[in-house]
């Protein structure tokens, strides 16, 4: 961890201002902590009014917040427009990320026909196959496998034990964590002669810039066409993208979600955790799919969708829940009606 005074910290963040502090040279910070309860010599952040009362009682030495909230506090404040965004800068300053050397470890393997850019790190037991191209400032952590003819864009950081298969093209500033696979075969078989016969997958995967993959995620290569991942997509752990899928820009997918093959997803789509998306369908730009939802048909318009296999918007699903409850309760109501009719001597025809 690094230690800063409030004055030093403010000088490193563009546009930051100091409020509620007479002498920012004397206020020290060496960690980041939650605003409740807070920790001495730490900085906390406040971006939500719901936490304002907790911030008023915080033990932290500094609060990263907006000018509006700073007026409600007595603790020294580092004032910015977007505290949650600036928090990333603060974390990097106080907890500097590990810097990898410009080095190829002695037990790594780089094929003589591979091209390695400037200032790269290739870790222990990593391997780079023939005709692969690695851009400048790329980190390949231990155990990474880069297949023949694959291309890795500059500034990328590929986590331990990742496999980037042959012919895959990855853009700039790609980030992946442990045990990811890009470009494995798509899941396609034909059942004949009493067995499942594999269909070769001859497409590849093309990944845009600024894409991130969580641990144990996988993107399958295309069958005849390519699987395409747009710029700025972010995938949580255990996300699977099937063959021939086309994802637009800034798609966010939470953990345990699977996207079946040949599905098209527009820009700025958010898909919650534990979702299942069927093959050969479309999800329009701007759509939100709630966690645990199963999408089995093309969605007609951008909206918030929830449920199992209904493809309903949130208001439609709420109506369905009411109707299901009414159906479940109907037998109870019917018994009560029959009991009342019996007491009143009313005979009803079945």
Burial class (CB in 10 A: 0-12, 13-18, 19+), 259: buried
Distance CA 228, CA 251 (A): 12
List the catalytic residues: 243
Cβ atoms 277, 270 nearer than 8 A: no
User: Bridge partners of 43?
Assistant: 32, 62
Q: Which has the closest alpha carbon to 180: 215, 211, 145, 143?
A: 215
Q: Which two tokens stand for residue 45?
A: 């952040």
CB 295 within 8 A of CB 281: yes
3-state secondary structure the chain: CCCEEHHHHHHCCCCCEEECCCCCCCCEECEECCCCCCCCCEEEECCCHHHHHHHHCCCCCEEEECHHHHCCCCCCEEECCCHHHHHHHHHHHHCCCCCCCCEECCCCEECCCCEECCCCEECCCCEECCCCEECCCCEECCCCEECCCCEECCCCEECCCCEECCCCEECCCCEECCCCEEEECCCCEEEECCEEEECCCCCCEEECCCCEECCCCEEECCCCCCEEECCCCEECCCCEECCCCEECCCCEECCCCEECCCCEECCCCEECCCCEECCCCEECCCCEECCCCEECCCCCCCCEEECCCCCEEHHHHHHHHHHHHHHHHHHHHHHHHHHHHHHCCCCCCC
């Amino acid at each position: 961890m690094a230690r800063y005074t409030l004055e030093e910290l403010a000088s490193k963040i563009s546009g930051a201002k100091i409020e509620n502090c007479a002498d920012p040279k004397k206020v020290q910070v060496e960690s980041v902590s939650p605003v409740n309860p807070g920790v001495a010599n730490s900085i906390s952040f406040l971006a939500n009014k719901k936490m304002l009362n907790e911030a008023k009682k915080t033990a932290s030495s500094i609060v990263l917040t907006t000018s509006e909230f700073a007026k409600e506090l007595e603790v020294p404040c580092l004032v910015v427009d977007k505290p949650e965004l600036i928090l990333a800068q603060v974390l990097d300053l106080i907890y500097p990320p590990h810097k990898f050397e410009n080095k190829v470890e002695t037990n790594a393997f780089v094929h003589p026909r591979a091209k390695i850019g400037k200032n790269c790190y290739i870790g222990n037991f990593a391997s780079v196959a023939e005709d692969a191209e690695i851009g400048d400032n790329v980190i390949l952590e231990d155990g990474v496998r880069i297949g023949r003819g694959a291309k890795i864009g500059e500034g990328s950081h590929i986590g331990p034990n990742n496999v980037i298969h042959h012919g895959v093209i990855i853009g700039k500033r790609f980030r992946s964590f442990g045990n990811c696979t890009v470009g494995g075969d798509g899941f396609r078989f034909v059942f004949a002669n009493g067995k499942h016969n594999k269909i070769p997958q001859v497409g590849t995967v093309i990944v845009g810039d600024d894409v991130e993959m969580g641990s144990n995620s996988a993107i399958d290569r295309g069958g005849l066409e390519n699987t395409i991942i747009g710029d700025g997509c972010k995938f949580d752990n255990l996300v699977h993208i099937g063959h021939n899928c086309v994802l637009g820009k800034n798609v966010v997918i939470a953990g345990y979600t699977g996207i079946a093959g040949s599905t098209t997803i527009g820009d700025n789509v958010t898909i919650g955790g534990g979702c299942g998306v069927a093959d050969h369908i479309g999800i329009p730009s701007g759509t939100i799919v709630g966690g645990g939802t199963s999408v089995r048909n093309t969605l007609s318009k951008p909206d918030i969708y929830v449920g199992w296999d209904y493809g309903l918007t949130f208001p439609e699903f709420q109506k369905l829940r009411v109707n299901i409850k009414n159906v479940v309760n109907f037998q109870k109501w019917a018994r009560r009606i029959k009991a009342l009719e019996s007491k009143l001597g009313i005979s009803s025809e079945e």
